[in-house]
Amino acid sequence: MSSSPKKVAIVTGASRGIGAGVASAFREAGYSVVASAVSIPPSDDPDLLTISGDLTVPSTAEQVVTQALARFGRIDSLINNAGIYIGKPFTDYTLEDYSAITGINLAGFFHITQRVIPTMVEQGSGHVVNVSTTLAENADSSRPAALAALTKGGLVAAARSLAIEYASRGIRVNTVSLGVIRSSMDASYEGLAEVHPLGRLGEISDVVGGIMYLEQAPFVTGETLHIDGGQVAGH
């Protein structure tokens, strides 16, 4: 195993949108980055390792961690960004929807995080950030999304639990809970700015700023940082 003086961050769902923005921010901060996604092109940057694969499959998570350690020798941060959102009335959800949402939002989180934490314990330090949604706390009758709430709300609870379980071993675990973020050029965001008291959509830069704040806040753990334009506070 080689060693590296640079800190190392793993970012899941890193091929586009928020994940790509977070990966770039960590590189700009001087980190080596392992960027994972279902499909992601190879990189010629020696400090950026890209790995394609489905995190719902345990062997993919194993590959990400093994290659990260082989290439960089350590893992300092894990950003659990990979996830999917399917919003529809509860009784309209199909078994395929349930399998897809729980597969990436919960099983994907479980497979990669369970493999990263032992390395952090051995180092005596580490930071995990889960990406959730304010809809898990602040339901909206115009946007029913019970399975998103079930899975992303679970990530908030798991982060608090892990923060306490591993606090004495130098590992911090936090969550960012997002409002509607303009993360895709293909999606329609018409009318969605109104759900935020600040009156605008969130931008990828807003999420990146929140995650990098948590990364640089050594006395913050078990926290849920709402990046939602005031949505969780009320209307």
Tens-place pLDDT, residues 57-109: 999 999 999 999 999 999 999 999 999 999 999 999 999 999 999 999 999 99
Task: Judge whether residue 2 has pLDDT over 90.
Answer: no
Both structure tokens of 107:
């099983």
Question: What b/e readout covers 152-173, taking b as 16+ CB neighbours within 10 angstroms?
Answer: bbbbbebbbebbeebeeeebbb
Task: Judge whether residue 192 has pLDDT over 70.
Answer: yes
Distance of alpha carbon 174 from alpha carbon 159, whole angstroms? 6
Work out the mean pLDDT of the chain and round it to a whole number: 95
Distance of alpha carbon 92 from alpha carbon 154, whole angstroms? 21
User: Quick one: average pLDDT of 107-135?
Assistant: 98
Task: Judge whether residue 1 has pLDDT over 50.
Answer: no
What angle, rounded to 10 degrees, do the helices at 109-123 and 58-72 form?
A: 30
- Given pLDDT bands bounded at 50, 70 and 90, which one contains residue 188? confident
- Residue 170 region by backbone torsions, left for phi larger than 0, else alpha for psi between -120 and 50, else beta: left
- Given pLDDT bands bounded at 50, 70 and 90, which one contains residue 191? confident
User: Are 178 and 132 spatial neighbours (Cβ–Cβ below 8 Å)?
Assistant: yes
Q: Is the pTM of this model over 0.85?
A: yes
Task: Judge whether residue 4 has pLDDT over 50.
Answer: no
User: Are 51 and 35 spatial neighbours (Cβ–Cβ below 8 Å)?
Assistant: yes
Residue 167 Cα distances to 10, 170, 182, 218, angstroms:
20, 5, 34, 11
CATH 3.40.50.1110 fits 8-233, yes or no: no
- Given pLDDT bands bounded at 50, 70 and 90, which one contains residue 145? very high
Task: Judge whether residue 3 has pLDDT over 80.
Answer: no
- Opening angle at CA 68, ends 66 and 69, nearest 5: 70
User: Quick one: average pLDDT of 194-206?
Assistant: 95
Task: Judge whether residue 183 has pLDDT over 50.
Answer: yes
Taking only the tens place, the pLDDT of each residue in 33-50 is: 999 999 999 999 999 999
- Given pLDDT bands bounded at 50, 70 and 90, which one contains residue 140? confident
DSSP 81: -
Please count the other Cβ atoms lying within 10 Å of the Cβ belonging to residue 14.
Answer: 28
User: Are 37 and 82 spatial neighbours (Cβ–Cβ below 8 Å)?
Assistant: yes
